[in-house]
Amino acid sequence: MSGEQHETMHDMADMARMNHDKMSMPGGAHMMMDTASLRRKFWISLILTIPIVLFSPMMGMTLPFQMTFSGSDWLVALIGSFIFVYGGQPFFSGAREELKTHQPAMMTLITMGISVAYVYSIYAVIANDVFVVTPTVTDFFWELATLIDIMLLGHWIEMGAVMNAGSAVDKLAKLLPDTAHLVVEDGTVQDVKVGNLQLGQHVQIRAGEKIPADGTVLEGATSVDEAMVTGEAKAVAKQPTDTLIGGTINGTGTVTIVITGTGDTGYLSKVMTLVQSAQDNKSQTETMADKVAGYLFYAALIVGVGSFVIWLMTNSLAAALSIAVTVFVIACPHALGLAIPLVVARVTSLAATNGLLIANRSALEQINRVRFVLMDKTGTLTAGKFSVNAVQSFTDQFSENDILGTMAALEGQSTHPLATGIISAAKAASLQVATAANVRQQTGIGLMGDLDGHHYQIVSPTYVAKHNLTVPSGHSGKRGDTLSYLVGNEQVLGLVAQGDQIKSEAPAMIQQLKHDGLTPVMLTGDNRQAAQAVAAALGIDDVQAELMPEDKDRLVTGYQKHGGVLFVGDGVNDAPSLARADIGVAIGSGTDVAIDSADVVLVNSNPYDIVKLIVLAKTMTRKMTQNIWWGAGYNIVAIPLAAGILAPIGFILSPMVGAVLMSLSTVIVALNALTIRRV
C-alpha cells in the first residue's frame, strides 16, 4: 500500500477503536471517559458531598445530625458549585452528544435535573441570605451532590465490570508485517516498508514469513497457513498463478509474487471496512435505560413547564417556581442510575465464573430478539485439529500399522495439519517410526520420499483420479473426511482418512438451542462436503459453505430481516459478522481480531457456554426490566404528585415523602440485583 493508504488504514483503526469504546461504555456514546477518570471524579465528589450533607437540608427536611452556622449556606453553595462543574462534566458532555443526535436520554435527563437544582439552589441562597425572603426558599444542593455521586458510581461500576476489548480493526492492521523483500529491476532484493509497496511490484516471500500484501505467485511453490484469515485449519498449496492473501503465513517454500492488492483494494482492508461499518451501526443501538430516561426527560419537561404555567395562573410566582423545580429534581433518576450498573456488575461477575467475558453488555439486551444462532464450523463446532478417523490397507504386504507408520515416516518433518494428525496417530499406536530419506514436497499433491530402499508417495484424491490409479470400491473414508493415499510403484497401497473432530459439547448445545426455539445455522468457509458432514452429525439443517467474509456478513444481514442474530466464530473472516450480528460471540482460542470484534468471549472455547450465555443474558434483561420499573416507577408516581395533580383535594407531595420514596426505590433495585444466581 502507499504511504497515504497506510495512514488511512491506521485512521480506520482509530475510528473503529472509538466506535468499540462507545459500544462498551454505559449510555453508548455518552460517557467518553476511562475508568480511572470516573473513579477520581467519584471519590473527589463524594468527599466534598460530606459537608453538604452536614449543612444542607434534604428536600427541605432537616435531619437530626445536620447543623448550620453563619455562612454555612455560602460554604455549601461554593462546594456545590465545584461538584456541579467538576462531577457533572461527564454528563454535560454526554447530554451534548445526545442532543446533537436529537435523542435525549440518560445524560440529558441527569443534566436537566442537576442544572435546575443548581440554578434554583443558588437563587435560594441569594434569596434567603441577601434579600431575606419569607418564607425561606428551599435549596437542592443535597439532591444535586448525591445525584452526581450516585451517577458517577453507577457508571464506574459498569465500566469496571465490563471488559474493554479494544479495536478489531487495529488488530487487523497489525496482521501485516512491517517490511517486505522487494525484487528490483536488476533481480536483487531490497527490504522496504510495507507501506511503500505498489501494485505490480514483485516481492519475495521466504519460509515462515507473513505475506505483506495480496498477490499472485510468479515463481516457486509453497503451502500457506490461511487459518488466521479463513478460520480453516488446512494449509493451502500454492504454485504459479495462485493467489495469496496479505496477512497469512507462508509455509516452507520461497515464492515470488506480483502485488495485486494494497491499501483499500487488499483483502484485509476490505475486511476492515466491513468490521468498521458493522461496529458503527451497532454503536447506534439504544439501550433500555436510555429509552426509559428519554421518556422521563420529556415527561419531566412537559409536566414541569405545564405545572409552572398552571400554578403561575392560579398562585404566586414563588409557588409556581418551587413546584416546577421540585418536579425537575424528583425526575432525577437516583434509582435508575444504579438499576442497570448493579445488574451488569452482578451478571458480569457470574459470567466470568462461567468462562464468559462480556465486552459489550448493551448488545446482550437484544437477547429476546434472537431467533437464529449462526456458527462458524472450524474452531467453534469442531476442534480445528485433524485426527485420524480410519487407516485402510489395500494389499496383503502392508498392515494398517505399516500404512500409518510409513506415512508418518514421510511426514516426520512436516508441520502441515494433516501431517500432524498422522504423526499423532502413529505415536498413539506406539509405532516405531523410521526416518525417511530424500523427502520433498509435491505442490498440490503431497510428499515423496524413500524408506527401506523403496520409493513412496503420499498423494491426494485428485492425484489418484488424474493418474487413473485403482482404489478398491468402498474404501473412501467417512463423508467429509480428508483422504491421503500411500502410493508405491504407481500402486495405491492404502489410505488414511482424517477429520476435524466435533467438540464433545457441540451436540448438546445444538439440541438445547432447538429446544429453546432457536434455529442453529452453520456458516463456514470450508468445502460443502465437509460442512454437510459436520452439520448432519450435529443435526443442523441450515448450512452455508465456501463463504468469504463478505458472504458471511451479507448472510448475517439477511437473517436479521427475519429476527435477531447471535453469531459465533473465531477467525478473521468472522470479524465482520461478529460485529454485524445483534450479539457477537468469539471463541477464546480464536484470533485477536475475532475476539476484539465480539460482544462476548468464550474463554474456555466450550460451545455449550453459548447456552449459558443465553440464560445469563435473558436473566440480565429480566432483572434490568424489573429494576427500571422500580426506578422509573418512583418517577411515574412522584412527578405528577409533585406537580400538584391532587392539589384540588388538598394533597401535594411533600419533599420529605419524595426523599423517602427515592431512597426506598434505590434500596429495592440494589437488593433485586443481588438475587441473580449462577447458572
User: What does 459-495 look like in DSSP terms, one character per residue?
Assistant: E-HHHHHHTT----TT-S-STTPEEEEEEETTEEEEE
Query: Which run of H or E residues covers position 258?
Result: strand 255-261
The total number of residues written for the chain in this structure? 679
Buried b (16+ CB within 10 A) or exposed e, 104-138: bbbbbbbbbbbbbbbebbbebbebbeeeeeeeebb
Residues 275 and 588: their CA atoms lie apart, in Å, by: 19
Q: Which three cell numbers, joined as nine digits, stand for 577?
A: 459478522
Q: Do the beta carbons of residue 301 and residue 589 sit within 8 Å? A: no
Buried b (16+ CB within 10 A) or exposed e, 643-679: bbeebeeeeebebeebbebbeebbebbeebbeebeeb
C-alpha dihedral sign at 103, 106, 107, 112: positive
Beta strand residue intervals within 472-602, DSSP E? 482-488, 491-502, 519-523, 542-544, 564-569, 583-587, 600-602
DSSP state of 649: G
Q: Do the beta carbons of residue 165 and residue 359 sit within 8 Å? A: yes
HSE, side-chain direction, 13 A CA sphere, residue 315? 14
Coil, strand or helix at 540: coil
Residues ≥6 apart with Cβ < 8 Å to 512: 608, 611
C-alpha dihedral sign at 316, 322, 324, 327: negative
- From the list 472, 513, 498, the residue with the least C-alpha distance to 607 is 513
- From the list 375, 354, 385, the residue with the least C-alpha distance to 594 is 375
Give the torsion through C-alpha atoms of 433, 482, 216, 229, to 10 deg. Answer: -100
- From the list 210, 262, 216, the residue with the least C-alpha distance to 202 is 216
- From the list 174, 180, 149, 151, the residue with the least C-alpha distance to 46 is 149
Partners of residue 500 on adjacent β-strands: 386
Catalytic pick from 149, 170, 376, 596? 376
HSE, side-chain direction, 13 A CA sphere, residue 188? 4
Residues 246 and 243: their CA atoms lie apart, in Å, by: 10
Coil, strand or helix at 510: helix
Judge residue 554's burial from the number of C-beta atoms within 10 Å of its C-beta, 0-12 exposed, 13-18 middle, 19 or more buried: middle
Triad 556, 569, 537: Cα angle to 5°: 95
For the question of residue 129 being annotated catalytic, the response is no
HSE, side-chain direction, 13 A CA sphere, residue 454? 15
Active site members: 376
